[in-house]
Amino acid sequence: MLHPKNKKLPFPIVFIASEHERGYIERVDRFIGQTLEKRAQDRYKIIIDDPVKVANTMLAGLHGVRKFRKANGDAFFFDWTLKMYRDFQQPFLTIRKNVTRLNICKDQPTYKLAADLRRVFSSIIAGNVKEQDIRAIEEHENYQLKGG
């Protein structure tokens, strides 16, 4: 959603959490703000412990999407107007050389940074969950990440 061509798309994104999970969702929000900045935070809403508000927010978002699609002649079954950065569509092999090449610096378009951050998190999870990745890390040391 951070690609400049998606700026006007009314796509409702809602992070929901229970009161017990408030601290976690606030840390996620803070991380997004620190890495992808306020523009990314402006693309979503956070709702804590209020299922009725979640339902109403999503219903209002759905109405906005329908109105937008009618006005722009877009289909209801597929979002033709959504600009999807090609890197988000490609599988990422979490091998050491691929992880080392990731660009997690802020001196690039936000949508590209978001794609590489997704790959970072995929690599961290794979390195702790997938047997082949765990073995590769044991054999070749931890992944090396560089950012700024």
One domain, residues 91 and 134: yes
One domain, residues 16 and 57: yes
Contact between residue 74 and residue 80 where contact means Cβ atoms under 8 Å apart: yes
Here the tokens at position 95 are 């091998």
pLDDT band at 93 (very low <50, low <70, confident <90, very high): confident
Domain limit, last residue, from 72, 96, 131: 72
How does pLDDT run across 96-147, given as a tens digit for each residue?
Answer: 788 888 989 989 999 999 999 999 988 888 888 888 877 877 787 777 777 7
One domain, residues 19 and 64: yes
One domain, residues 47 and 104: no
| Angle formed at CA 34 by CA 9 and CA 42, multiple of 5 degrees | 25
Contact between residue 113 and residue 88 where contact means Cβ atoms under 8 Å apart: no
In a domain, 132, yes or no: yes
How does pLDDT run across 50-69, given as a tens digit for each residue?
Answer: 999 999 999 999 999 999 99
Instruction: Please give the Cα distance from 147 to 54 (Å, whole number).
Output: 35
In a domain, 46, yes or no: yes
One domain, residues 50 and 95: no
